[in-house]
A and B are shown apart, each in its own frame.
Chain A
Amino acid sequence: MKILVVDDEKDVQVLFEQRFRKEIRNGEMEFVFAFSGEDALIYLNKHEHEAVLILSDINMPGMSGLELLSHIKQKYHKPPPIVMMITAYGDAENFNTAKELGADDFLTKPVDFTLLKEKLKPTS
């Protein structure tokens, strides 16, 4: 199970690697990181046939999470990867837009890792 995390905050990588260290060690999950929407698209183009779950922040400079989402959902007709969006607390507008664009699931900031683990487990 490969998970692509998209966030402009670089420390997210360390955080995820530590939070999921057991799963990474067990080989249950593999994490890839992209620090912008553009980087994420480049990665996806290079690794087109990998089954990937995407976990993306919305608020990023340059291409936003929402733009990335619409790119992915338009481009990958079958089978489109699962995309989970991370929205800021109480941001109903972004939530609704993401839902319309076809986001599969939502997480609110600050990310509750216990909840995230539960959500990721059935898919792996």
Chain B
Amino acid sequence: MIVVDLIIAILIVRYLRKTLQTAVLLPAWDKILTGVFFISIGLLAADIFFGRRVLFLQWGGHAVLLFLLYILYSKKEFKPARSYMIAIFPYVLVRLTVDILKTFFNSFYNTLNNYADAAILFAVIWLIAMLVINKKQQKALAKEQEKRKQEEEQNKITVLIKEQLEVQVAERTAELTKQKEELQNTLHELQSTQSLLIQSEKMASLGELTAGIAHEIQNPLNFVNNFSEVNTELIAEMKDEIEKGNFEEVKALANDIADNEQKINHHGKRADAIVKGMLQHSRSSSGQKEPTNISALADEYLRLAYHGLRAKDKSFNAAMKTDYDQTIGTVNVLPQDIGRVILNLITNAFYSVQQKKTLRQAQGDNSYEPTVAVSTKKTGDKVQIKVADNGNGIPQSVLDKIFQPFFTTKPTGQGTGLGLSLSYDIIKAHSGELKVENKEGEGAAFIIILPA
């Protein structure tokens, strides 16, 4: 039996050295284990040569196994290999007990002989089974470790890829940020261009107005000059009559002078209003709504537009029909903005009737009477301003495009295509509506509806 004890001891030492890699990890213990290994070999050799004759050999085997049990149980360095302890423990215990009984209580041992053999057999089976299970577990563990290693490898690769991706993402982000900034710059440029365009559209319509304004200022100025000249004459006459003592005549003259003064004042104010209107038109909107007489505003711009157009094309003429609702009173609007819309609509109307007249005349037809009608009306809580013409109307094909920015039917350079688009925006900003009634060939009417 001693041979089995020693072989087990040798195998266990081998296993321990191998599985715990003591040569590298636990050099001090490795020396001890190596010592145990050679002692076991020595004992084994001694047993083979001397057999049962040397008693201590038997106890030597026990000592080696007990020592192994002891270090497996108590040293934390061997904790991972504790399954060997469980494997050999029953064997060592049974063998030691049997040998002790055999040696010291031989008679008692003899009665239990069969049981002892069974116990040893059981311990051996236990040991083999445990070793097999151990082996299997170790294999599974090794597999697990291999797997973990692979996973770690995988993780390392993943981390590497992730880092690369992060670099790429950072690059892309930088690129996108740059593009975003460029776009923002472009947007700013577009916005400033747009406000420039709006300003130039204002200026263009002001240009159209200049001739009309000149005419409109010239007329009241003529009246102011003429009436003040008349008054000078009348005053001279009045002095004569005072000399003569003809006070009836003096009274009549004084009345005339007073009337004329009123006329002078009226026409002076008219010129003043026109200049103010012109200044307002060119100025950027103050953003302040003020109570405005819509009918007066419409009429002012009708006259300005008419004379403006006349100044450009002397052959042109059109009848103007006006119908103003005097019950409207005032409406809170931005006067220069609404004025621009009205001006734009009226200018368009005049343009349309002018086109039709030219066309008809080319065909030898002189019967067409170009007419532009401007009217205001209050209905419920709404005020409407209507600008109608009897021109050719809007072709059905472009009707849905007329409010689009830059859409124009005029030849290049004659229209910005912003007029109706801006008008639409202005009316929307007043919570109003800009509608169009159109009969192709017969005329168009634009209707501004504002909350009163």
A interface residues, Cβ below 8 angstroms from B: 9, 11, 14-15, 18-19, 59, 61-64, 67, 88, 91, 93-94, 97, 109-111, 113
Contact = CB atoms under 8 A, between A and B. Distances in A.
Contacts of B263: 11, 14
A88 B218 contact: yes
A18 B317 contact: no
B244 to A, nearest CB: 16
Sorting the interface of chain B by its residue count into under 10, 10 to 19, 20 to 34 or 35 or more gives: 20 to 34
A18 B230 contact: yes
B306 A113 contact: no
Contacts of B259: 14
A62 B317 contact: yes
B356 interface: no
B219 A9 contact: yes
B226 A110 contact: yes
B273 interface: no
A113 B227 CA distance: 11
Contacts of A109: 218, 222
Closest 4 CB pairs of A and B: A110-B222, A62-B319, A64-B317, A61-B320
A112 to B, nearest CB: 10
11 contacts: A11-B263, A11-B267, A18-B230, A59-B307, A61-B306, A61-B317, A62-B318, A62-B319, A88-B218, A113-B226, A113-B229
B226 A15 contact: yes
B375 to A, nearest CB: 16
Interface string B213-234: 0010011011101110110001
- With a 10 A CB-CB cut-off, give which of B226, B260, B307, B319 has the most chain A CB atoms: B226
Given A11-B263, A18-B234, A19-B230, A61 B222 contact: no
A113 B318 CA distance: 30
A11 B318 CA distance: 22
A74 B222 CA distance: 32
Contacts of B307: 59
Interface of B: 215, 218-219, 221-223, 225-227, 229-230, 234, 256, 259-260, 263, 267, 306-307, 310, 314, 317-320
B227 A15 contact: yes
A14 B256 CA distance: 10
A98 B314 CA distance: 12
A62 B234 CA distance: 36
- With a 10 A CB-CB cut-off, give which of B215, B230, B263, B320 has the most chain A CB atoms: B230
A62 B226 contact: no
A98 to B, nearest CB: 11
B320 A15 contact: no
A64 B310 CA distance: 11
B310 A59 contact: yes
- With a 10 A CB-CB cut-off, give which of B225, B229, B317 has the most chain A CB atoms: B317
A14 B215 CA distance: 21
Contacts of B222: 109-111
Contacts of A110: 218, 221-222, 225-226
A63 to B, nearest CB: 7
Given A14-B259, A18-B230, A61-B319, 9 more contacts: A11-B263, A14-B260, A15-B230, A59-B307, A59-B310, A63-B317, A88-B218, A110-B222, A111-B222
B371 to A, nearest CB: 9
A85 to B, nearest CB: 13
A63 B223 CA distance: 23
Contacts of A14: 259-260, 263
Contact of A11 (B223, B225, B256): B223
B319 to A, nearest CB: 4
Nearest to B310: A59
Nearest to B215: A59
Nearest to B319: A62
B267 A18 contact: no
Contacts of B225: 110
Nearest to B219: A9
